[in-house]
Amino acid sequence: MTQPLLHPAQAIKNKISELTHAVQQLPPSVRKEFSRLPKEAELRFNSIAQYGISAAAATRPAAPGMVTVRHGPIEIRVKPLDLGVTGHALSAAMDTAMEEKAADDERAYGAKTRENGFASLVEWATKQGYYNSVEHQAWAKGAEARTGGRVPASWWIKFDPFGGTAGNGPDVLPQGRWPGALARIAIGHDTDWSLGRYFNVGPMKVLYRAVADPFILGIVGLVPMPLTQFGSAGIYTNPSGHIDWQVFVR
């Protein structure tokens, strides 16, 4: 049975508590370096709603090198990345990415998915009305554009049933679905997170096969990270969003 949406303030409080717990579980040798994360996350999440972009902003010309994707009420402008592989090598990389994503999802959400009565994240996202919805398709088309058209939207839909939403997998935050302010951040962050984690390209490639608590991996790029392993580059919650992405209401 799915849980009702929480009030934003309570949802934020719960996430900070999860982060605090995750930090406490780290080995003592690195715990001190991560100890600032809960407070930094609190400051970031408490102010994050201000990052909405008005429809009027879409009248600005796209930045040089950007391509524009329009789907339903959403307009996405993004700079394509060079994946560095084509043909059979790309097909193999996509297959490997799908397998590694499934393994990550099982570690992070498998037990919770079954506890809520669902056989898969696809089933859960479908129940929430998100899977293959207009906003899910828009995110997937933006992700396709980010890869220069080499990884199709149909693949992205299957790859991430909650792609383009803000939260922790099926735990979607208030304003985490379009047209919420958090969703506008997630459209870029989810794409680049996956490209870094599974393809070793883009501003989030520090995630490539990194081993850490799933919650900490998930917030890389959203809050400053004290460890050099993850750094603080590619913050996606600056007022103007990430430099490679622009997301608007059409």
Average pLDDT per consecutive 10 residues, the chain (250 residues; last block may be shorter) = 44 60 64 56 47 43 86 94 95 98 95 96 97 97 97 98 93 87 89 96 90 82 67 59 83
Please give the backbone phi and psi of residue 198, each rounded to the nearest 5 degrees, phi first. Answer: -110, -20
Q: Cβ(21)–Cβ(214) under 8 Å?
A: no
**The predicted structure's pLDDT at residue 51:** 38
Q: Cβ(164)–Cβ(186) under 8 Å?
A: yes
Q: Where are the alpha helices (DSSP H) in the chain?
A: 8-24, 28-34, 37-47, 87-115, 121-127, 134-146, 153-159, 181-199, 214-218
**The predicted structure's pLDDT at residue 2:** 40
**The predicted structure's pLDDT at residue 33:** 54
Integer Rg of the chain from CA? 17
**The predicted structure's pLDDT at residue 54:** 36
**The predicted structure's pLDDT at residue 32:** 61
Please give the backbone phi and psi of residue 70, each rounded to the nearest 5 degrees, phi first. Answer: -125, 130
**The predicted structure's pLDDT at residue 174:** 80
